[in-house]
Amino acid sequence: MNPSDILITLIAPLLLIVYLWSFIRWLWRHEYRLGAVGGAVLMVVSCGGTLTYFLTKLLS
């Protein structure tokens, strides 16, 4: 097990939380827009994919 793998596995969920929080704040300030929702979905998918990758690497 690489120390860098553990570090990235811890950072990925934090990034996801930060992305979601900033998106929710953005929605609060602006009107509801479809493009913003698409951007949020892309961020969640990319962060979730990173997290899933490192979790499977961690558990294998």
Asked if residue 5 has pLDDT above 80, the reply is no
Are the CB atoms for 23 and 36 separated by under 8 Å?
yes
Write out the two tokens for 4.
């860098």
pLDDT tens for each residue of 48-58: 777 788 778 77
Q: Is the dihedral of CA 10, 11, 14, 19 positive or negative?
A: negative
pLDDT tens for each residue of 15-30: 878 888 887 777 777 6
Banded pLDDT at 14 (limits 50, 70, 90): confident
Asked if residue 32 has pLDDT above 70, the reply is no
Angle at 49 between CA 47 and CA 54, to 5 degrees: 100
Q: Count CB-CB contacts under 10 A for residue 4.
A: 8
